[in-house]
Amino acid sequence: MTAAKRLSIPEALAIAEAALAVHKPGEMILGAWADARGVAVAHGFSENVVTVGPGPLLVDRVSGEVSFLGSIEQLDRLNAMREVPVR
């Protein structure tokens, strides 16, 4: 079995942005968070609040799996992540 490639935060953000473009074209990224396993991206626009919906989007660095955070466990993981700047 080959070792999984570990993505840098910029690489993971690029993957997340590409996945976001497929799921929600035209919407902007409001915030991004990262930990050792992946990156989460909040998207949409509603004044100063993240829109209610299927996000944030999580891209796993090891498997490359893309999922929407929704469970309590996933949101706990998001709370433990560190915020990374988005352009």
pLDDT in tens, the chain (87 residues): 444 556 677 777 776 666 655 555 566 666 777 777 767 766 655 444 443 344 566 666 667 676 766 666 666 777 777 776 655
Which residues, in sequence order, are bridge partners of residue 59? 39, 66
Task: Give the C-alpha separation, 57 to 51, whole Å.
Answer: 12
Query: Which tokens go with 19?
Result: 């996945």
Q: Which residues in 18-41 are b (16+ Cβ under 10 Å) and which e?
A: ebbeeebeeeebbebbbeeebbbb
Nearest CA-CA partner of 50 in 33, 31, 67:
31
Q: What pTM was estimated for this model as a whole?
A: 0.46
Query: Where in the chain are the domains?
Result: 9-84
pLDDT of residue 46: 44
